[in-house]
């Protein structure tokens, strides 16, 4: 039986803990005890093995007593660097830790991708990156989905793939930067998708927006050397279409709320969890300005998040007016 340590007690961290607990012994580590309690209250399908809920102080003894353990990081990208800088309990073991990264986003200020942050603490060949369309609530119900594990270390990816339950189909690929960009960018497009639906602009407009959003993501990724086929698969279009079309998506709800005259602060308070697109939009715009990249949807979303007109903002993207 494999021991797996999940860092992060948010919705996605709990969902992954549940999924892995079907075949493995799972330990959840969260900075908030309330999140750990949510595991029992939100789970709708019994797992064969109940995850252990640890405090950080208990981590080292459990980790060192495990046989070749695996780790999962599911911490919001906005808090990832702060977590790593304060995670002194990892210092004695992180040189040989094997990590599956389930965090998505781009760091504000530095514009660093998640892999760039974590490679300051772990070896690049000891990390894998999880991507693909997946709502935490559906994973917690044991509903089928498909995910992609990206890494330069194929053997490690396959090892993680074997740990997933039967209801999650996994694929192994090696486009880490493509998965990173797709995972961050789709949240920004999802905000635009929520705005489009909130303004009742129709199916034609929505199809146009998402198609152009996919092209914009891929163009941005190409600048950083991402593979274009990554954006056409589960990591890109699959995740984009899921996130941009459902009220289960926090980023979609941000856009929908803005279109219905709610303030960003009010929306985020109602969500109670991080909407990564709010942070990623600003970072993408900063990177685009630095490298002179054409990312009109990201620019318009960021302008709206900063208080610009929701109505005119999205309609400008869909207008036939030439600039």
Q: Model confidence over 168-222: pLDDT tens digits?
A: 999 999 999 999 999 999 999 999 999 999 999 999 999 999 999 999 999 999 9
Domains in the chain: ranges and CATH: 3-174 (3.40.50.720), 184-318 (1.10.1040.10)
pLDDT of residue 92: 79
Residue with tokens 């146009």: 208
In this prediction, what percent of the chain has a pLDDT beyond 90?
A: 72
Q: Which residues contact 256 (CB under 8 A, 6 or more apart)?
A: 194, 195, 197, 198, 247
User: d(Cα 86, Cα 66) in Å, to the nearest integer?
Assistant: 23
Whether 105 has a binding-site annotation, put simply, is no
Residue with tokens 């949240």: 187
Whether 239 has a binding-site annotation, put simply, is yes
Secondary structure (H, E, C), 196-217:
HHHCCCCHHHHHHHHHHHHHHH
Whether 9 has a binding-site annotation, put simply, is yes
Q: 73: which 2 tokens?
A: 């990081």
Query: pTM (2 decimals)?
Result: 0.91
Q: Model confidence over 244-259: pLDDT tens digits?
A: 999 999 999 999 999 9
In this prediction, what percent of the chain has a pLDDT beyond 70?
A: 91
- The reply to whether 186 belongs to the active site is yes
Residue with tokens 């998402």: 210
Q: Model confidence over 45-61: pLDDT tens digits?
A: 455 445 666 677 778 88
Q: Model confidence over 101-146: pLDDT tens digits?
A: 999 999 988 889 999 999 999 999 999 999 999 999 999 999 999 9
- Name the pLDDT band for 29 (thresholds 50, 70, 90): confident
Chain mean pLDDT for the chain:
90
Higher pLDDT, 220 or 87: 220
Whether 253 has a binding-site annotation, put simply, is no
* Contact indicator for 278, 268 with CB cutoff of 8 Å: yes
Strands 52-54 and 70-73: unpaired
Whether 136 has a binding-site annotation, put simply, is yes
Q: Which of 23, 186, 227, 282 is catalytic?
A: 186
Whether 323 has a binding-site annotation, put simply, is no
């Amino acid at each position: 039986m494999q021991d797996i340590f999940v860092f992060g007690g948010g919705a996605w961290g709990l969902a992954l803990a549940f999924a892995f607990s079907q075949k493995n012994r799972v330990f959840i580590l969260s900075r908030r005890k309330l999140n750990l309690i949510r595991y029992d209250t939100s789970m709708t399908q019994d797992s064969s093995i109940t995850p252990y809920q640890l405090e950080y102080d208990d981590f080292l003894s459990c980790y060192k007593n495990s046989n070749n353990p695996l780790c999962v990081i599911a911490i919001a990208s906005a808090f990832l660097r702060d977590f790593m800088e304060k995670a002194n309990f990892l210092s004695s073991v992180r040189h040989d830790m094997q990590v599956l990264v389930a965090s998505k986003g781009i760091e504000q200020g530095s514009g660093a991708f998640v892999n760039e942050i974590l490679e300051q603490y772990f070896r690049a060949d000891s990390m894998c990156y999880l991507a693909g369309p997946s709502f935490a609530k559906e994973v917690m119900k044991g509903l089928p989905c498909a995910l992609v594990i990206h890494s330069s270390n194929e053997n490690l990816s396959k090892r993680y793939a074997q740990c997933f339950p039967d209801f999650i189909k996994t694929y192994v690929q090696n486009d880490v930067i493509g998965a990173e960009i797709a995972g961050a960018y789709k949240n920004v497009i999802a905000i635009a998708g929520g705005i489009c639906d909130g303004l009742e602009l129709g199916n034609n407009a929505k199809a146009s927006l998402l198609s152009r959003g996919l092209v914009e993501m891929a163009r941005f990724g190409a600048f950083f050397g991402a593979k274009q086929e990554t954006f056409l698969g589960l990591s890109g279009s699959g995740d984009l279409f899921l996130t941009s079309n459902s009220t289960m998506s926090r980023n979609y709800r941000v856009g929908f709320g803005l279109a219905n005259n709610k303030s960003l602060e009010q929306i985020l308070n109602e969500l109670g969890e991080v909407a990564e697109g709010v942070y990623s939009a600003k970072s993408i715009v900063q990177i685009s300005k630095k490298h002179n990249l054409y990312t009109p949807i990201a620019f318009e979303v960021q302008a709206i998040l900063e208080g610009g007109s929701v109505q005119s903002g999205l309609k400008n993207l869909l207008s036939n007016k030439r600039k």
